[in-house]
Structure 1
Amino acid sequence: MDDKPQAGQGALPDDFQIDIAVAAGSWPDENELASLCHAAIDAVFKVAPVEALAGSEVSLVFTDDAAVQELNKRWRGKGKPTNVLSFPGSEPDGDLYGPLMGDIVMAQETISRETDELGIEFSHHLSHLVVHGMLHLFDYDHQENDEAELMEGLERQILAGLGISDPYADKPLLADDD
């Protein structure tokens, strides 16, 4: 994460588009999803040192494990579902990202299972994964320990602003090999 600005930009830009598609799975009502996603993405812009071009957009696809497993195998060579996948769109212009931020794809069964295993609210876990996916679109990663520390620190700050507990409280900061 070289040369990132040092503070959040303030708020979700007025002309930032959030496109939501429910493709498969038993998801909450689309209005509830839209509200949750807007709040999570707005929090990213308030806290993280990120900036998007005017008129930028992100697509969030809510689907099932089978669809995510296929995408995960095709694009990452991993033949299993995962909770969230991010597919960056256009290359950034310096520190500005967009206009097509990219796609974030969620797997309903995996997220529900993790929610049960972790004993947390579905909406909190989903908010975390939207934040996580957005940070990936802004080139944050967690493949190396220093990257994981930076990304997870931002996630903690963003989620705290949403009133969501630290998802890493009981886990050490480690690079993700998944």
Structure 2
Amino acid sequence: MASVHIDVMINSTSSQLPDQSELEKWTTAAVGELRPDAEISLLIVDTEEGAELNRQWRNKEGPTNVLSFPSDLPAELELPLLGDLIICAPVVEREAIEQKKSLNSHWAHMMVHGTLHLLGYDHIDDQEAEEMESLETDILGQLGYPDPYQVYE
């Protein structure tokens, strides 16, 4: 199993953030056997900064739940940096309520989802989306969380 370290910077007023050990547990599960060591920089933001970053990097209005920026380091450097994640805490909190999920479960999903993006997974087309969603569901299931794509009425 991989050893994952997360450098966390909190630029959010949320009082409902997961702790370092949970963040590392979720990303370690996502990295699995793909990398022996991994390092991720995580920035947790509020709505205004999330919207600004989403506009700057994706040309989309409003905040999104997670932004992923894979590292673009030359392979010969052999550094463990996977890249940067930015998570907008108020969006994650709102989505958890809307989707009738526990906040912890949704944070786990966002960290696994973002980490898979850093590892090169994507959901641009249907086949990629199906593969990535299946992998997310398996990883979260191994962690004891329900299917994140299950719709609750």
TM-score by length of structure 1 reads 0.77
Match of 1:129 in 2: 110
Please give the residue correspondences for 1:124-163 in structure 2 after superposition, counting only pairs within 5 Å: 124-163=105-144
Q: How many residues align?
A: 152
Amino acid at match of 1:28: Q
Equivalents in 2 of 1:124, 1:91: separation in Å? 32
> Which residue among 3, 10, 23 is the counterpart of 1:37?
23
Which has more helix, going by share of residues?
A: 2
Unaligned runs of 5+ in 2: none
Unaligned runs of 5+ in 1: 1-10, 172-178
Amino acid at match of 2:89: Q
Match of 2:90 in 1: 109
Equivalents in 2 of 1:110, 1:127: separation in Å? 14
Q: Please tell me the root mean square deviation across aligned C-alpha atoms, in Å.
A: 2.3
| Residues 24 and 170 of structure 1, relative CA distance in 2, 3 Å threshold | closer
Equivalents in 2 of 1:45, 1:73: separation in Å? 28
The answer to whether the aligner puts 1:51 opposite 2:10 as a matched pair is: no
The ranges of structure 1 where at least 4 consecutive aligned residues each deviate by more than 6 angstroms after the TM superposition are none
Equivalents in 2 of 1:163, 1:143: separation in Å? 27
Equivalents in 1 of 2:53, 2:129: separation in Å? 23
Q: CA deviation at 1:70?
A: 0.7
Identity %: 37
Amino acid at match of 2:35: E
SS at match of 1:21: strand
